[in-house]
Amino acid sequence: MPRAAAPRLPRRRPDPFPYLLLLPALLLMAAVNLTPILQGFYMSLLKLNQFTLAQYLDAPFVGLDNYRRVLFDGASPLRAGLGLALRNTLLYTAVVSLSAIAIGLGMALLMNRDFPGRNLARTLLLLPWIVPSYVVGSLWGFMWQRDVGIINTVLVDWLHLLDERPFWLIGANSFWAIVIPTVWRTWPVLMLIFLAALQSIPEDPYEAATLDGVSRWQQFLHITLPLLKPVILIQLMFQIIDNIYSYNLVSMMFGNGAGYPGEWADLLMPLLTRQSFSYWLFGQGAAVSFVMMALMLVFVGLWLRAFRQQMSDTPHA
């Protein structure tokens, strides 16, 4: 005898109340984020320079001509020094991102152990991160001074590691003059994130590995590192984005935005900002900003496509 079909339950209608509660926040976020983006894009389509600045959004409309100039016109002032700034930005991004993640992960492993004063040590190690990046740039700019800076005083006068006082803000050393402060300020927050991820890993795999005689290094390679892989990949992506858009530290260390950082310390964002304001080419400056944003969106899309599965895995055994 055939079984009677189960009665179908009426489909439950979604409750609109939660969406109504979220609506003001969504509208505010859209206004705060989308309005500057749309205005900036419109500026990139205008001939906005020192002669038309008073007209602002009523400046002559030139369509995609600003994009043509910054991409294909070698005479555009915004392209002066662009190759060196691109090289420096790529090197700076790679060195800072990898160094900050390595130091942050190492310190997180240390801070995950039990020892007296652990909570105090965790708090003190976060101090560099709470210093504003503008302050870090100004502070390290004084510290790197050749004659009166504390860096040369320690290296030359106290430790006698160097025979003479080097120039840190001139020449190739200026690259490390911007890398070291950035790493110094960045790794504490990465330590905090990795520490939270480490504490979410259960003890069972480590206890089983210890019973099997697996060394601590092998446990790190085959248990800790794979379980932290999603967090590491996400933080690496964030670091790459942040460092490509880096501006504050270089700007404050070299003339508060108006100075030239030199061949080895000039990054993309300081260069584009300095050239745009120096030559009053705000339309072309806006165009460059949107070119960079488009490239960054492509990078994020490719990154998510390549590591989507690994980033969605939870750090649990």
Q: Is the pTM of this model over 0.75?
A: yes
What's the whole-number average pLDDT of the chain? 89
Residue 314 has pLDDT above 60, yes or no: no
Residue 195's nearest CA partner among 115, 307, 117, 113 is 113
pLDDT digits (tens, 9 = 90+) for 141-192: 999 999 999 999 999 999 999 999 999 999 999 999 999 999 999 999 999 9
Six-digit token string for 91: 């090197």
Helices 225-244, 82-111: inter-axial angle, 10-degree rounding: 150
Q: What would the mean pLDDT of 11-17 be, rounded to a whole number?
A: 77
Please determine, for residue 7, whether its predicted confidence score (pLDDT) is greater than 80. no
Mean pLDDT of the 241-253 span: 92
**Confidence band, pLDDT 50/70/90 cuts, at residue 8:** low
pLDDT digits (tens, 9 = 90+) for 204-239: 999 999 999 999 999 999 999 999 999 999 999 999
- The two tokens of residue 211 are 């019973």
Q: What is the pLDDT of residue 272?
A: 87
Confidence at residue 317, expressed as pLDDT on a 0 to 100 scale: 42
At 97-121, the pLDDT tens digits run 999 999 999 999 999 999 999 999 9
- The tokens describing 56, both together, are 């602002």
Longest dimension (CA), the chain: 100
DSSP state letter for 135? H
- For 269-273, what is the mean pLDDT? 89
Give the residue, 259 or 213, on which the prediction is more confident. Answer: 213
Lowest mean pLDDT among 7-11, 174-178, 286-290: 7-11
- What is the tens place of the pLDDT at every residue in 121-144? 999 999 999 999 989 999 999 999
